[in-house]
A = this chain, B = another copy of it.
Amino acid sequence: MDRITIFFATGNIVKVEEAERILKEYNISILHLPMKLLEIQSENLEEIAVFSAQKAWADQEKPLFVEDAGLFIKRLNGFPGPYSSYVFKTISNEGVLGLMAQYEDRIAYFQSVIAFCSGKKTVTFKGEVYGKISRERRGNFGFGFDPIFIPDEGDGRTFGEMNISEKTAISHRTRALRKFAEWVKSTDISKFI
């Protein structure tokens, strides 16, 4: 089967490298379309990703996907959710640990949503990883809230204590990327382009 090329519209080069590593297992090549996405305010990551992908398509007219992710903490009613980047930038891990200090219920999940848009069609793929908010910041790997998130499928270490291949094995983004890749392989994508 021919190699398929799809554009990844994002301003984040680290996400591009991560996606390349996963998608090449499926013989899918991606090209980085560097751009600042237009994101709407919504509590639903899927709604945000769909809007961003359709707007990017309207600007670029290339078959492309976008990815959006967030950390959802149950006891905080989903906070910081879709605003995770902003919350990290302003109050950081220490702020979230402070908000959680008094709570025993530390359940949280990371969610990643990929939205593919070809103009004719928009399709979304979700990946999630469940875990708990740690009591303190641990580890220097990863970024954002990785050092305060302990995945249930791990050995008690935070994402911040795992190297990239350990994290990638179970991460929300990997899961969304694999679902996306499987869809691309099982679909005659040329119909949509």
Chain B residue nearest to A38 in the complex (CB): B40
Chain B neighbourhood of A99, CB < 8 A:
91, 95, 98-99
Report the stretch among A3-11, A17-25, A75-83, A141-149 that lies at the interface: A75-83
Please tell me if A39 contacts chain B, counting CB pairs below 8 Å.
yes
* Interface residues on chain A, number (Cβ under 8 Å): 23
Contact B76 A95 (CB under 8 A): yes
Chain B neighbourhood of A76, CB < 8 A:
90-91, 95
Interface residues in A39-68 (C-beta closer than 8 Å to B):
39-41, 43, 48
Copies of this subunit: 2
Chain B neighbourhood of A91, CB < 8 A:
76-77, 79, 99
Please tell me if A120 contacts chain B, counting CB pairs below 8 Å.
no
Q: A72-96 toward B: CB 8 Å interface, digit per residue (1/0)? A: 0000111101110011011100010
Contact B98 A77 (CB under 8 A): no
Chain B residue nearest to A79 in the complex (CB): B90
Q: In the complex, what distance in Å separates the CA atom of A181 from the CA atom of B43?
A: 34
Chain B neighbourhood of A39, CB < 8 A:
40-41
Q: In the complex, what distance in Å separates the CA atom of A95 from the CA atom of B87?
A: 13
